[in-house]
Amino acid sequence: MCELLGMSANVPTDICFSFSGLRARGGRTGPHKDGWGMAMYRDGDVWTIHDPRPSADSDIAEVISHNSLKCDIVISHIRQANVGGVCLLNTHPFSRLLWGKTWSYAHNGQLEDVSALPIERHHPLGSTDSERAFCWIIEQLQARLGEDEPSLDDISTVLSELALQLKGRGVFNMMLSDGARLYCFCTTKLHWITRRAPFKKATLSDEDVIIDFKEVTTDKDVVTVIATQPLTQDEMWSQMEEGELCVFEGGEVVCQIKAN
């Protein structure tokens, strides 16, 4: 399996603290040693890092966890390979163009028989079930919603249907973003926390690191962090339900669709 980390904030915020926790699970406190990657959005631009080495040993992961790169949205992924060898092109997050924006996506879980998902325009570069499912999602969104960017409600409704179909093939925990919103779908495990004033201290579960968010925020900041497993040991994280789609924008929940 793998672990996911996402962030949505109303002011550009770095992911150093949370990524330090996630990174440790990539070969040291956890078994997810088959690469890691990150998509970082700011002002609609996205930049990416892909590294098939264990995040716990990676020199560039070390650099990223100690340098404040301010983002509106982040998707990060540490991989424990099931389907597809350990190589750059199998390293999440994957990116494709849709409605004039670059969409990034990462997946945790395993899906059966993804080759049965029809794709025509968007081909995978690597050999993972995850990327194949992503190509299908992008094609389906375009086919069902047209060539112009639809409303949040329309995207969320269709995305929820697609995600439930994929859930029928196995475990489908995923994060998807266009730079404005962060769409998260849960099959088994996704937890989230929204931090806002009054900010407090927090202690990582995987690293001997404490942060006092009061010192790095203003009263107006709203920052939501989403992760496979809670990353801190002294905060209350919410658990997403099975089959739930939750959409974040500017750190706030803007849409929630539950399966039942």
Residues forming the site for its own copies (CB under 8 A): 40, 45-53, 58-60, 63-64, 67, 69-70, 87-89, 95-97, 102, 123, 125-126
How many Å apart are CA 8 and CA 168, to the nearest integer? 28
Q: Which CB sits closer to its own copies, 95 or 256?
A: 95
Amino acid at 181: R
Which residue's CB is nearer to its own copies, number 87 or number 143?
Answer: 87
Q: How far is the CB of 64 from its own copies (least distance, A)?
A: 8
Give all strands (DSSP E) within the chain, no chain letters: 2-13, 36-42, 45-51, 71-79, 94-98, 101-108, 173-177, 182-186, 191-195, 201-203, 210-212, 223-227, 238-239, 244-249, 252-257
Which one of the listed residues 2, 184, 246, 255 is annotated catalytic?
2
Min. distance of Cβ 46 from its own copies in angstroms?
5
**Cα–Cα distance measured from residue 156 to residue 151, given in angstroms and rounded to the nearest whole number:** 9
Q: How far is the CB of 61 from its own copies (least distance, A)?
A: 9
**Active-site residue flag, 2:** yes
CB of 118 vs its own copies, minimal distance in Å: 16
Residue 48 or 203 having the CB closest to its own copies: 48
Q: Which is nearer to its own copies, 76 or 232 (CB)?
A: 76
Q: What tokens were used for 133? A: 């499912």
Exposure string of 163-196, with b = 16+ CB inside 10 Å and e = fewer, is bbebbebbbbbbbbbbbbbbbbbbbebbbbbbbb
| Residues assigned a catalytic role | 2
